[in-house]
């Protein structure tokens, strides 16, 4: 077990591409740190720099109090689980798991004991003499984990280890992975583009975009207090509703209705670069069905909208409302305009979504009355994308 510290870590490729820029991150002993972001955000490059598979252009990498910038991978004592598992296809499960220990010249009996123990933890005992080609996706994934665990390294690095599994198995393995990491208490850096994985697995989550770290915080803090528009849009499914709003004396005029400026909102506006226009963010679960509410709290904002699309999710509805063009968020800061493969809900700026309980009397094409508490509004600077408000949870 050990601590990992990234100090100003930068990766510049030969063609001049800046993949990671001035990354500062401290990962505590036994912590599970998630690096999350859309494709091309630099998270895998950062992981490969920690692994020693990618040269560090600038900055310092410390593992267990030792500067390891120039150490080859084998001298860093860390294990990695790859996205496609990268098992040795010509070796059995047992040989795959033994390989690292053999390279470290560990005694044969000791190798056999460790492989047996690890196989038991991962429920692989009966597959030890099979080759990867004879295993299912889930079993291969466990072998890849086993190959890392058996070495008892200072840290695990995991590069989207669940992305090749089907949805059901992914959920199952996610739980399994959390259990194993908890049991072993090994420092882990886990890369994913799946925000659900990030939210459910991580002790802390580092959100990256275009090579730059956006925010590091606990999953809950990231969700409730996103540092900027990108983080707000990236975390949460369905994605947060982002709308433009005008500031007029004591009122915030939004497409959802006028919101009286209270002290919190007034303070927020004072911190912004502009005083006339802001972007407001509202999570879909903070929009409530008025028909199901007996008594609305004071100061709530109500509005009516026609349901354009209704998605029945089983336990709840995602109701979409078309708000017209007036509300689009600028492309420069809209997270839905990121690199290809960006898992951010690709919602247009004129689309509003509400998560409503399954007992809501809601139908496509019908109008419905919704309300929200202004305390749930996030206010963002339209120029920098910075969050200006301290949001109510």
Partner 1 sequence: MSATSATLGRTPPRRRSLLRQAMPGIAWWAICGLVALMFLFPLAMVVLTVLKTSSEAAATPPHYLPQHLSGQNFRALSNADIWKYVINSAGVALGTVVGTVIVATLAGYGFARYRFPGRTLLFLGSLMTLMVPFQALLTPLYSVLVFLHLANSLIGLTLVYITFQLPFSLFVMRNAFAEIPQEIEDAAAMDGASTLATLRRVMVPVAKPAVVTVALFAFFSAWNEFLAALIFLSDQSRYTLPVFLTTLVTGKLGAINWGLLEAGVVVTIVPCLVIFLLLQRYYVRGLMSGAVR
Chain residues in the site for partner 1 (CB under 8 A): 51-53, 72-74, 78-80, 82-84, 86-90, 99-100, 103-104, 147, 151
Minimum CB–partner distance for residue 114 and partner 1 (Å): 14
Minimum CB–partner distance for residue 73 and partner 1 (Å): 5
Minimum CB–partner distance for residue 18 and partner 1 (Å): 20
Residue 295, C-beta contacts closer than 8 angstroms, at least 6 positions apart: none
Q: What is the DSSP letter of 159?
A: E
Q: How far is CA 361 from the centre of its chain?
A: 33
Identify which of residues 50 and 279 has a Cβ nearer to partner 1 in the complex. 50
Distance CA 38, CA 349 (A): 19
Minimum CB–partner distance for residue 103 and partner 1 (Å): 4
Q: How many CB atoms lie within 10 A of CB 260?
A: 11
Contacts of residues 177-181 at CB distance under 8 Å and 24 or more positions apart, as own/partner, are 177/145, 177/201, 178/32, 180/121, 180/122, 180/145, 180/149, 181/32, 181/156
Identify which of residues 62 and 82 has a Cβ nearer to partner 1 in the complex. 82
Identify which of residues 161 and 272 has a Cβ nearer to partner 1 in the complex. 161
Identify which of residues 127 and 147 has a Cβ nearer to partner 1 in the complex. 147
Q: How many CB atoms lie within 10 A of CB 249?
A: 5
Minimum CB–partner distance for residue 32 and partner 1 (Å): 19
Identify which of residues 89 and 341 has a Cβ nearer to partner 1 in the complex. 89
Identify which of residues 82 and 318 has a Cβ nearer to partner 1 in the complex. 82
Question: In the block, which residue shows the tokens 């056999």?
Answer: 112
Minimum CB–partner distance for residue 4 and partner 1 (Å): 15
Distance CA 117, CA 119 (A): 5
Identify which of residues 74 and 113 has a Cβ nearer to partner 1 in the complex. 74
Alpha helical stretches, state H, the chain: 43-51, 93-103, 108-121, 137-149, 167-184, 195-201, 219-224, 229-234, 263-271
388, 268 contact by CB (below 8 A):
yes
Q: How far is CA 134 from the centre of its chain?
A: 33
Minimum CB–partner distance for residue 252 and partner 1 (Å): 45
């Amino acid at each position: 077990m050990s601590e990992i510290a990234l100090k100003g870590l930068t990766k510049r490729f030969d063609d001049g591409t800046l993949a990671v820029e001035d990354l500062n991150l401290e990962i505590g002993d036994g912590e599970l740190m998630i690096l999350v972001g859309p494709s091309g955000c630099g998270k895998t490059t950062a992981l490969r720099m920690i692994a020693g598979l990618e040269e560090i252009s600038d900055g310092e990498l410390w593992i267990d109090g030792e500067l390891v910038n120039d150490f080859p991978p084998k001298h860093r004592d860390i294990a990695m689980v790859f996205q496609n598992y990268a098992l040795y296809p010509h070796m059995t499960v047992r040989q795959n798991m033994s390989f690292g220990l053999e390279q470290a010249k560990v005694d044969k009996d000791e190798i056999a004991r460790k492989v047996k123990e690890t196989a038991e933890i991962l429920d692989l005992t009966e597959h030890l003499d099979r080759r990867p080609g004879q295993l299912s996706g889930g079993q291969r994934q466990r072998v890849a984990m086993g190959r890392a665990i058996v070495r008892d390294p200072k840290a695990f690095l995991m590069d989207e280890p669940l992305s090749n599994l089907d949805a059901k198995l992914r959920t199952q393995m996610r739980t399994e992975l959390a259990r194993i990491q908890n049991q072993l208490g090994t420092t882990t850096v886990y890369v994913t583009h799946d925000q659900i994985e990030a939210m459910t697995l991580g002790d802390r989550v580092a959100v990256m975009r275009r090579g730059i770290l956006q925010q590091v915080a606990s999953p809950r803090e990231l969700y409730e207090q996103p540092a900027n528009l990108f983080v707000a849009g990236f975390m949460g499914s369905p994605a947060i509703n982002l709308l433009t709003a005008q500031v007029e004396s004591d009122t915030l005029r939004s497409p959802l209705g006028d919101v009286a400026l209270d002290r919190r909102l007034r303070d927020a506006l004072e911190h912004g670069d502009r005083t006339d226009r802001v972007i407001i963010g509202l999570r879909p679960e903070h929009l409530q069905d008025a028909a199901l509410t007996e008594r609305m709290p004071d100061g709530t904002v109500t509005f009516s909208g026609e349901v354009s699309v209704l998605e029945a999710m089983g336990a709840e509805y995602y109701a979409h409302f078309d708000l017209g063009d007036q509300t689009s968020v600028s492309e420069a800061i809209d997270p839905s305009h990121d690199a290809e493969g960006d898992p951010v809900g690709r919602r247009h700026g004129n689309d509003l979504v509400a998560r409503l309980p399954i007992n809501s009397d809601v139908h496509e094409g019908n109008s419905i009355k919704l309300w929200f508490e202004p305390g749930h509004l996030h206010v963002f600077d339209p120029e920098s994308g910075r969050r200006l408000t301290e949001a109510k949870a």
